[in-house]
Amino acid sequence: MASDRDNRLGKYVLKSRLGKGGMGVVYLATDTRLKRDVALKVLSKSLASNADAVQRFLQEARAAAQLNHPNVVMVHDVDQQRGHCFLVMELVTGGTAQERMSLGPLSWVEATRTIADACRGLAAAHQAGLIHRDIKPSNLIRTADGIIKLADFGLAKVPDETKTSGPVTKSGAILGTPQYMSPEQCSGEPVDARSDIYSLGATYFALLTGEPPYVETQPLQIMFAHCSKPVPDPRSRRPDVPAACAEVVMTALAKQRAERFKSADEFLAALNALLANASAADLAERAAADATPTAFQGAPETLDEHQGLNAIDVSAATQPGERAGVTAPYLETRSWSGVTRLLSTTSKRRWLGVAVSAGALLIVTGWWQGWLGRGSGVGNPLPQRQQSGAPVVSPPARAPAPPITLELVAEMPGIQSAIMSVAYGKDGNTAFSGSTDGSVKEWNLNSRSVVQEFKDPTQTIREPAKQTIRAVAANNRWVAAGGDEHRVRVWYQSTGKLRAILEEPRGEIGSLAFSPDGTMLAVGGYSDLWIYDISDYQFSSGRKLGDSSSSPVGCYMVKSLAFSADSRWLAATSWDKKTVAVWNAESGELQRYQRDLPKEPHTIAFVPKTEQLVFGMHQEGLRLWDLSTVKIRSIPTSVGHEARTVAVTADGNWGLVVGPWGGLIRVHDLHGNQQSRSIKQPQEYAAMGVAISPNGLQALTWGGDEGRPRGYINLWSIVAEKSE
């Protein structure tokens, strides 16, 4: 165990680690004299001998210490003890705006109030003569009371900076985080308060849409976009943003400083005007968001018990986007001989070209506060676990559900191989497909075209038999795919860059699912079932479920997975064990299972707004499983039909089912005795799957012939059936 001395810096006792970044580690600590918890930011030993880094670190302390404002993180002290340089700050435990974004874009009211709070803190900084120069979502931190505070003045320009000759901010230096840097920052020009306004506008854009204004692969490409590309309208990525709100964002993002808000106070006035005109419905949505617990709930990382403070010497910085709060490289490019800036003006538009040599300095800033707890959807808890043997009963008499049908909208063109899996994007306008040729593609459903293909640059030439992609999943950040190669690849959805390769699940990959709250990835293999906690954007904490050595249910050949709408429960099928089961997704505890089914189960799905599951079996059609009463109901009209995939309509009344042969789509009434309806597809070969769009108005079907180069994806409208 580490001694008390190992975990003590002067009067501060370190209790646990909250996070780390490029410059050091942030600890939860106790001030033994004042008896209060604080956040202790300790400069890493690897940088402590670097005079430049120490000067920047002390500059942050001096800059932030000038401010005493409710919307700025307060600095209490700066000190050096036992060779460690550290900064003492107030402890803010509500998580960063970047972490809040991991749950999806904010409502426009919540985003506007977040930026308004940040604007107040920024106005105070500007009044003190400080230019922040690194405003971004990960530097906006929320208190337990919901107040946003501006943090991290490590790159701040201080009033007397131009009079100093120190190395921290040489003339011509490029400082900041590329996704949120102003055009003048990107080109190395002098900055003023309006540069911070641009960065805050870029942050506003990200909170509204879920991503920064410019999404490029490389930092220098992003910087070029800030200088040269047109100002994006947030409504192009999120149509429901009010026009007045979009106008404020675009004013803050004006290329020319003179066209932006003149001050943080003027920006704040525009934000307050937006909020004053918010409708009652908008404000109710904001109140619901405020009622959602967002305080720091996860356990902080503990100190290394064998190293004590030796653990402060952090390793190399992580890659951009790999931890919560890390959105991009924290970039400083010096005016060295190895750096060439080529600037030109054409039609009043600046074009930036920056050639960076190997000597250019890249520092990645990490998150330093805790992370958000998972989504707060509640739902009723399941009763005690139930073993097999539940009775099969007939459905009760009820009024018939209004009939529906499908009308073909379009066939995706140019498909040359069988499509084995398709997942809708969160916006419903995109879809992601996996096929027998090993490709993973993103489709724009409006233009009916492929807009991106996801590849593995480390992959060598494979045998054709090893190429099939059998499972694809997507959320607003990631795309995951797996198949015959016994591994899962995960890409950044926005850039197509490979993020991780998961090789723990053994055997072929049969199914994938992201939890609706974005914190988990479930992987079903032909040997194992795994769940990964990805709340911190890492893919290294997989847990195996359904191990027959410790559980009454062994899950093998998992062909289908489904999360409940509130992300609390994970349901899965086990083909060769003829079993369906439900786990608590967070704890991994088995809650329900049904063994020894008449046939092998293909597919499983939760029924919206109920505690029911529907699952489909080989040649046995559909069964409805009520998790609260532990009863299974047969869907009589489906018996004898192959149910490879089922998708449930938004009202919970109808199940769309496809089987492998003939290409037919069958529409089954899940709660009554109405006859099933069959819908013929244009293609007559195998139908592999069906999915319903997030808005419930459309559906996709897909399939093909695994033995020949032909396949299809069809887009359908779900419409009320016309009366005779």
Show Cβ contacts of residue 51 under 8 Å, excluding neighbours closer than 6 positions.
167
d(CA 60, CA 155): 7
The SS3 assignment for 9 reads strand
- Backbone angles phi and psi of 641, in degrees to 5: -90, 145
Q: Compute the distance between CA of residue 414 and CA of residue 591 in angstroms, rounded to an integer.
A: 45
d(CA 125, CA 130) in angstroms, rounded, equals 5
CA–CA distances in Å: residue 325 to residues 90, 315, 320: 19, 18, 10
d(CA 185, CA 229): 15
Beta strands in 73-151 (DSSP E): 75-81, 84-90, 140-142, 148-150
Tokens of 565: 């709408």
Six token digits for residue 666 = 């069958």
> What phi, psi does 385 have (nearest 5°)?
-60, 150
Query: Token pair 């398709």 is at which residue?
Result: 422
Q: How far is CA 211 from CA 96, 102, 110, 224, 667, in A?
A: 15, 10, 16, 17, 38
Kindly name the residue from 6, 117, 134, 517 that is annotated as catalytic: 134
CB 490 within 8 A of CB 496: no
**CA gyration radius, the chain:** 28
**Residue 361 near residue 333, CB atoms below 8 Å:** yes
Contacts of 179 (CB under 8 A, 6+ apart): 136, 202, 206, 212, 213, 214, 222, 327, 328
Q: Are 173 and 337 in contact (CB under 8 A)?
A: no
What is the sign of the dihedral through the CA atoms of 20, 24, 26 and 30? positive
Is residue 134 annotated as a catalytic residue, yes or no? yes
Distance from the Cα of residue 135 to its chain's centroid: 20
Residue 177: C-alpha distances to residues 220, 331, 531 (Å)? 11, 6, 33
Cα torsion 400, 402, 408, 409: sign: negative
Q: Are the C-beta atoms of 517 and 374 separated by less than 8 Å?
A: yes
| Residues 308, 314, 315: CA angle, nearest 5 degrees | 130
Residue 20: count other Cβ atoms within 10 Å of its Cβ. 23
Sheet of 488-492: strand order equals: 469-474, 478-483, 488-492, 498-502
Q: Which residues are catalytic?
A: 134
